[in-house]
Amino acid sequence: MTIKKKWLFILLIGLLYLSISFYKIDQLPGEWYGDISNVHEYVTQILKGQFPFYFFQSPGPVYHYAIVPIVLLFQNRGYETYKIASLIISLLGLFTTYLFVKEISSKKLAYITVLTMSFSFWYLVWSRLGNSQIIIPALASIMSLFIVRYVKKRRFFDLLSGAFFTSLGWYTYPQTFIFPLVFFLFVVLFCLFTKRMVSQFNTLSLILIALFIMAIPFVTIIRNDKGNFGPQGYVGSKVWPNLFLSADQLIGKTLYNYKKLLLMLHVKGDRTFRVNVSESPQIDKLSGLFFLLGFLYFAKKKRRIWLLYIFWMLFVLPLPSISPSIPDAEIPNSARTIAVIPFVFVLVSAGFLWVYQSVKKFLTNDKYLLSILLSVMYIYMVFTNLKLYFVDYANGLPDRNFATGKIIAEFIDSLPKEVNVYFGSCCWGEWGHPEPKAVAYVFRKERNFIEYNHYLDSCREVTRLPAVVIFGPDDDKKVNEYKECFPQSDLVDIKGEYNTIIFRKIYIK
C-alpha cells in the first residue's frame, strides 16, 4: 500500500468514526450530569486564568488542560461542547492505538483494530459522554508505543518519551497512578530476561531520575489535598482502609474482586447506567470469541513477546479498580478499567484476522465466499454494538434519555436577559434529574442572574425582579405558596408529548 493510499484509508476510518460519533450527538446522551459540571468548572477556572492544578475528586488536570482549545473553539454550545471535546480526544486515542498496533504487528491489523474499536460500545459510550476518562486509552497506547519501540530499537529517546507520557498518569486519574510503575517495571523485566541489565543500567537510572523529577508536583498535590487523599477523602477512602485488613482479608477480597473483573468482558459488566447497559458484558459475544482467538494469532514465535506484553497490560492496568476498599457494587467498573481498551480490541481484531487467515487456507478457490462470510460476521458486530448504544443504552438512561434540563435551558434562553432565574425545586426526575447546574451550565445566552447553587426553601428568597421560578410537574404545594406570595404572578405549565407536564414556571413581574 502506497503512502497516499495508507493515509486515504486512515482518513476513511476517521470519517466513518466521526459519522457514527456525531450521529444524534445533540440528543444522546441528553442530560448534563454532575461529572460534566466538574469538568466545566475546572475548565472555567483555567479560562479565567486561575490555572488550577489539583484533583477534583478523581479527575486530575491533564484532560482539562487538553480540552481548553476545543472549548474555546466550540464555546456556548452547552453539553455539546464537552461531548465534542471528548470525541476529539477519542480520535487521539484511535490514532495512538493505530501507531502502537502497527509496531507490534502490521498495518493491516492496526487498521482493523482502529475500525473495530471505533464502533465498539465501550469506546463509543465514553467518546460521546464528555467526561475526562476518555483520555486514558490514548495515554495507555502511547506509553505502549514507546515501550515497543524501545524493545525493538533500544533507543534512549523512546524510553525518555515513554517516561514523559507515562508520568502524565500521575496527573490524570487514580487508576493511572500506576502507569509509571507499569512502564518502568516492564522495561526492567525486559532487560533482566534479555540479559541487558548491566549494559542498560545507566539508561534505566536516568529514566528513574526523570520519573522521580516528574513526580514531585504530584507528591505536592497529595500533601496539600488531605481532604481528597486522606483516609476520609474521595480517593483516600478507597486506599487507606486496605492497610487495616489482615493478610487473609486483603488477599481474599482482592482475588474475589479480580474474579469479578475477569467476567466483565464476557459475562457481567459495569452496572452503571451512565456508561453501560446495566451489567451487560463490555464486549459483544462475537467480539468475545475473537478476543480469545486473538491469543492464537499472537502465539506465533515472532509475536510471543507482544502477547506477553498485552497479557501484562491486561493483568496490571485494572489493579487499581479492584482495591478491597472499593464497594462491591462498583466492581467491575468500565471507567477504572478503561485503560485496557486498546489491548482488548487488538486481541479482538487479531482474532478476526486469525479467522481470515485460517479459513483462507480451506477456501483457496472461493474468495467470494470467504469475503461474504467475514463481512457478515463483521457487520453483525457493528450492528450489535450500535444497537446497544443507540437503542438499549438510550432507553436505560434517566427518563429514557429525556433531557428535561436542556428543555428548561432552551425555554430560559428565550426570555429577556434581565429576567432573573430561580429554582423552586429540582431533581424530580429519575436519578435526581434535572439538577440546577444541568440547566445553568447549558445556557446559550448570558443572563443577569441565576441562582443555581440551591433550590429555594421559601418564596421570600426571590429578591430580584422580574423573575421566573422553575418547579417540577408535581410541586402543587410549592406553586400555591408562591402564588400566595406573588398574587400577580403568572403560572404556566410547559407540556410535552401526550400533553404531559415537563415543568412548571411562575413568572413574577
Q: Note the pLDDT of residue 2.
A: 66
Q: How confident is the model at residue 408 (pLDDT cuts 50, 70, 90)?
A: very high
How far is the C-alpha of 327 from the C-alpha of 407, rounded, in Å?
Answer: 35
CA 356 to chain centre: 32
Beta carbons within 8 Å of 30's beta carbon, 6+ residues apart: 397, 401, 402, 403, 406
Cα distances (Å, whole numbers) of residue 137 to 16, 94, 142, 342: 20, 8, 9, 6
pLDDT digits (tens, 9 = 90+) for 462-509: 999 999 999 999 999 999 999 999 998 999 999 988 889 999 999 998
All three cell numbers of 20: 457514527
Q: Note the pLDDT of residue 199.
A: 77
| Ordered DSSP codes for 383-401 | HHHHHIIIIIIHHHSGGGG
Q: State which amino acid sits at residue 150.
A: Y
How far is the C-alpha of 216 from the C-alpha of 213, rounded, in Å?
Answer: 6
In the chain, domain spans: 3-264+277-396, 402-508
Q: How many CB atoms lie within 10 A of CB 302?
A: 8
Judge residue 139's burial from the number of C-beta atoms within 10 Å of its C-beta, 0-12 exposed, 13-18 middle, 19 or more buried.
buried
Cα distances (Å, whole numbers) of residue 130 to 16, 80, 168, 243: 20, 8, 20, 35
Q: Note the pLDDT of residue 68.
A: 97
Q: How confident is the model at residue 339 (pLDDT cuts 50, 70, 90)?
A: very high
Per this entry, what is the length of the chain? 509
Q: How many CB atoms lie within 10 A of CB 165?
A: 20
Residues 15-43 have a mean pLDDT of 92
484 HSE (CA, 13 A, CB side):
9
User: Is the pLDDT confidence value at 1 over 70?
Assistant: no
Residues 236-264 have a mean pLDDT of 91
Beta carbons within 8 Å of 194's beta carbon, 6+ residues apart: none
User: Is the pLDDT confidence value at 32 over 90?
Assistant: yes
**What is the average pLDDT value for the chain, to the nearest integer?**
92
